[in-house]
Amino acid sequence: MAKGPSYRVPFRRRRERKTDYRSRRALVLSKLPRLVARRTLKHIIVQIVKAEATGDRVVVSAQSRELAKTYGWQGSCGNVPAAYLTGFLCGFRAVAHGTKKAVLDMGLQYPSRGGRVFAALKGVLDAGVAVPHSENMLPHENRISGKHIADYAGQLSSNPEAYQKKFSKNLSRGLRPEQLSEHFSSVKEKIRSSFEKKGEEGK
């Protein structure tokens, strides 16, 4: 670690690679709620967070595990299609709560073009929340729907042993990976219709 009379020890959360305080300051000064998208090896978490004097307050939240529990998702909860659907779900919840604008908060994550964070952002955008972004950072529709996975599964199907090994978890859930795009569209429609139904009931 650097030493010297002019050296200032970084804040603990910066040392732990949890918070970029310079970026956070700019986000807070925007006075917009923050769209916080975080990923683990197996799951995606998307939240709308508002900074208050007493600390951050989570306005709405969605986790990819909800896709399986509530909407019948049978694919992986940590891939690009799941990230999009989680963002889509969070976006509808945000709109229902009255939040229609936000700013993306990536924390210390590296901005990987077409990655899971930007797939979640695309889901939030499609749900009706306005978030400043660059279009070329968003994943292609084929990646969002999982078509690239379905195509790869089709190529691998000629090798049953490799196919079974690669897609064993999907198969154990009852989903053939070649059908992922259709399954994605079905779950997306379930999310959309569930909120449209709530809107009609509230009239």
What is the reported pTM? 0.86
pLDDT digits (tens, 9 = 90+) for 122-179: 999 999 999 999 999 999 999 999 999 999 999 999 999 999 999 999 999 999 999 9
Averaged pLDDT score across all residues of the chain: 88
Maximum pairwise Cα distance, the chain: 66
Per-residue pLDDT averaged across 72-82, rounded?
96
Q: Please answer whether residues 62 and 46 qualify as being in contact, where contact means their C-beta atoms are separated by less than 8 angstroms.
A: yes
Q: Please answer whether residues 146 and 175 qualify as being in contact, where contact means their C-beta atoms are separated by less than 8 angstroms.
A: no
pLDDT digits (tens, 9 = 90+) for 103-132: 999 877 778 899 999 999 999 999 999 999
Residue 95's CB is within 10 A of a number of other CB atoms, namely: 17
Any bridge partners for residue 38, and if so which? 45
Q: Please answer whether residues 156 and 163 qualify as being in contact, where contact means their C-beta atoms are separated by less than 8 angstroms.
A: yes
Alpha helices in 53-115 (DSSP H): 65-71, 80-97
Residue 13's CB is within 10 A of a number of other CB atoms, namely: 13
Give the length of the chain: 203
Q: Which two tokens stand for residue 166?
A: 């690669």
